[in-house]
A = this chain, B = another copy of it.
Amino acid sequence: MKQSIDFTTLQEKVTATIREAIFTQTFKPGERLIQDELAAKLGVSRMPIREALRCLEREGLVEVLPHKGAQVIGISKEDIEELYYLRSFLEGVTVQKSMNFLTSGDREELQHLVEKMDQDIRNNNLDLFVTHNQEFHTLLQKGCNWKKVKMLNKQFIEGYPAHVPSLIPHSMQVSNEEHKAMLEALDQKDPVKLRQLVEHHIMRAGEKLTQLIE
């Protein structure tokens, strides 16, 4: 059952819609996004479209050129390598800085999420796994007071279909085992080890993904 999220602004709704369309290849890489067409298709004026395109530009999904308009950015194998390399570093830094500020409540919540993910695997529920996985990663970063890096992590996740990694066979099991290792590092109060685990976790996913693409 899919509950519709009510956005506070039309622009946000439009942004989400276009982003989805890019992820699902409805808009293909290189394709021009004409404001009038989108406006007509979505039943709104061009104004929210324009702002949405700016947001998507920031996320790295489209390119906006002055007086020429927006184009969907293509994603190459090289881009994926880059993305995961950057993500592994950035998220690594974040959790290292975050760890010592996590409460015991956070620790419990993380444990719960891991258990939920185990259940999701048993139920073969991809969507839920992706959600819980994202919650896990976000919570692990909660204690970090560096703002820019957290914003980047968020952007990288938004700017890339979170579902893709889950398409890799058996990746969910491995993934969740690594989550458990992270919890151990947390109990041992070893931020450097936690960081290494996170870095490896993400790099591994990236490598799997690039292998799959070939």
Interface residues of A (CB under 8 A from B): 8-9, 12, 50-51, 54-55, 57-58, 60, 66-67, 78-79, 82-83, 85-86, 89-90, 93, 145-149, 151-152
Residue of B51, B90, B146, B152 near A54 (CB, 8 A) is B51
Closest-CB distance, A33 to chain B (whole angstroms): 16
- Chain B residues lying within 8 Å of A12, measured Cβ to Cβ, are 66
How far apart are the CA atoms of A146 and B66 in the complex, in Å?
A: 23
How many copies the complex holds: the figure is 2
Contact with A9, one of B51, B66, B90, B148 (Cβ below 8 angstroms) = B66
How far, in whole Å, are A73 and B179 apart by their CA atoms in the complex? 35
Residues of B near A86 (CB, < 8 A) are 90, 148-149
Residue of B nearest to A82 (CB): B146
Which chain B positions have C-beta within 8 A of A78? 145-146
User: What chain B residues lie within 8 Å of A50 (beta carbons)?
Assistant: 51
Asked if A83 and B8 sit within 8 Å, CB to CB, the answer is no
Roughly how many angstroms separate A66 CA and B11 CA in the complex, as a whole number?
A: 10
A9–B66 CA distance with the chains assembled, in angstroms = 7
Partner of A147, one of B54, B82, B85, B149: B82
Task: Select from chain B the residue with minimum beta-carbon distance to A145.
Answer: B78
> Which residue of chain B has its CB nearest to the CB of A90?
B86
Flag if B58 contacts A58 (CB, 8 Å). yes
In the assembled complex, the CB of A46 is this many whole angstroms from the nearest CB of chain B, namely 11
Q: Please give the distance in Å from A171's CB to the nearest CB on chain B.
A: 23
Q: Which one of A8, A12, A152 has the highest number of Cβ atoms from chain B below 10 Å of its Cβ?
A: A152
Considering the complex of A and B, which 10 residue pairs feature the smallest CB-CB distances, nearest first?
A82-B146, A58-B58, A54-B54, A8-B66, A9-B66, A82-B148, A60-B148, A86-B149, A89-B89, A51-B54
A83 touching B148 by the CB < 8 A rule?
Answer: yes
Q: Of B60, B90, B147, B148, which one neighbours A151 at CB under 8 angstroms?
A: B60
Task: Find chain B residues with CB under 8 A from A55 CB.
Answer: 54
Q: Which residues of B contact A149 (CB under 8 A)?
A: 82, 86
